[in-house]
Amino acid sequence: MAIEKYSNKGLGEAKWSFPPVHPEGRKFAVIAAVITLFFALMAWETLAWPMAGITAWVLAFFRDPKRVTPLDEKYIIAPADGLVSLIVPVKPPVELQGEGGLADEEMMRVSIFMSVFDVHINRTPIEGTVKRQAYISGKFLNADLDKASEENERQHFLVERNDGLKVGFTQIAGLVARRIMSFVKEGDFVAAGQRIGLIRFGSRVDVYLPKGTTPNVVLGQRSIAGETILAVVGEMKEIEGVGQ
């Protein structure tokens, strides 16, 4: 994919376009469209119209819009579209701890809940090497619950920058999600905001911020994967928001 650069001085060219559908979703869209066509040919309109709506929803669910990622080593970028549903100090998962991993101490965890209407392509928060990747089978509780971090099916990632900064994050399956996909593997080098996987159908992503760093978002805020600045490394400040 060609790299396009943009700046706050007007560099680049921005045009609106329909977002493409990720290849993983095309087979589901084709199946839904074939069923819709069958119902239409059989003149079963009461089934054909709802099925047409499902086909459109499948196409929307697997949309993969282009994102413009702010480039600054201080930035930790949001890995998912959705609602900032939890901000809590917790110890990172044991799969991300140990030698070469995160410390066995509390750090701020930001949870982003993705509804079935959000884009489900996930992206890496920082540039670096994928040092660790661990898939854990589990339950399919509502991803909005705090205990989903420890009980649901999930996939952990640990990305380390060249300067040693590490950020861990976790894809968590939700109530209707039944598959977590990864586009990268251990040892791969990833750019900030690069696509690293997706979850079907409704889920959550947890991000564990480095020590001495607080979120740059507030509870209830919506994040955009690959674009929202989730935190600024080493920056600690209180931010308040107003719901309106």
> Of 128, 100, 119, which is closest to residue 60 (Cα–Cα)?
119
In the chain, the amino acid numbered 225 is: A
In the chain, the amino acid numbered 143 is: A
Cβ neighbours of residue 143 closer than 8 Å, sequence gap 6 or more: 113, 114, 152, 172, 173, 174, 175, 177, 202, 203, 204
What are the phi and psi torsion angles at 167 (to 5°)?
-130, 125
Q: Is 114 helix (H, G, I), strand (E, B) or coil?
A: strand
- Count of alpha carbons within 13 Å of 72, Cβ hemisphere only? 13
Q: How many CB atoms lie within 10 A of CB 55?
A: 20
203 is catalytic: yes
Q: Please identify which residue in the block is written with the tokens 């060219």.
A: 13
Q: Are 182 and 124 contacting, i.e. CB atoms less than 8 angstroms apart?
A: no
CA 74 to each of CA 163, 216, 222, 233, 242: distance values in angstroms, whole numbers, following the listed order: 12, 12, 21, 5, 26
Q: Is 227 helix (H, G, I), strand (E, B) or coil?
A: coil
Cα angle 41, 201, 160 (rounded to 5 degrees) comes to 140
Q: Are 82 and 223 contacting, i.e. CB atoms less than 8 angstroms apart?
A: yes
Alpha carbon 147 to chain centroid distance? 19
Q: Which of 111, 149, 203, 223 is catalytic?
A: 203
Positions annotated as catalytic residues are: 203
